[in-house]
Amino acid sequence: MQKETEQKEIPQDDWIGDDHLSGSVETPLRPDAFELSDEEKIAKIEHHFSEIMTTLGLDLHDQSLRGTPHRVAKMYVREVFYGLKPENRPTAKKFENSYSYRDMVVVKNINVTSFCEHHFLPFLGRAHVAYMSGGKVIGLSKINRIVDYYSRRPQVQERLTLQIMEELKRSLETEDVAVYIDSKHLCVSTRGIQDRESSTVTSSFSGRFKEKETRQQFIHAIQSESEG
């Protein structure tokens, strides 16, 4: 009698998560996501992180570890995930394009600091964005703030790219926007394959940036800076 080969079943969350699939451009939030205050969230996270550390065998009475659960909780709520709160969304005041400048505006090398939502490990890199005015402009620093706001939440890089794209289109009232992100993921470099050299590139092009010549002009502009 031939024996059937037994195969270990891989948990669904593992093989879905590692494929970086996402069903929506919107960050997946619960309906009650904003019912708790920041202070209440910090208290709950502090309690649960204490349990994690205790389960790992760490002594929370040690002077070095005593304050870690609170520090982690405060960091999550007020710093690395501040982009989850709608009230923190940057307000981009629009100005008339009084100079009638209609060519490409490129903002390069914007720092990206985000957390992969599959392992809650950081991914760090740079974003390059460009737009062509449809009659309105916004302050250049607001573009950096938009990138940072959407970065500061559990993310996948593909969704982050699209969220920045959609926000810039809304803020600038133009379809002519390009977004390019190049980053290194610590979930790749510190676990699994542990590859510390590879990086991940995502891009999104809208309006005139879908045209080959315009897109190449943008790519050339950001590459010349990187190679300089």
Question: Would you please indicate which residues are annotated as catalytic (active-site) residues?
Answer: 116-119, 157, 185, 187
Q: Evaluate whether 102 touches 133 at the Cβ level (below 8 Å).
A: yes
**Residue whose tokens read 């809304």:** 170
Burial (CB count <10 Å: 0-12, 13-18, 19+), residue 208:
middle
Q: Evaluate whether 69 touches 55 at the Cβ level (below 8 Å).
A: no
Helix, strand or coil for residue 205? strand
Show Cβ contacts of residue 103 under 8 Å, excluding neighbours closer than 6 positions: 132
Show Cβ contacts of residue 185 under 8 Å, excluding neighbours closer than 6 positions: 116, 121, 123, 157, 200
Closest C-alpha among 165, 153, 182 to residue 28: 153
As a three-state string, the secondary structure of 52-66 is HHHHCCCCCCCCCCC
Residue 172, number of CB atoms within 10 A of its CB: 24
Segment holding 122, helix H or strand E: strand 122-132
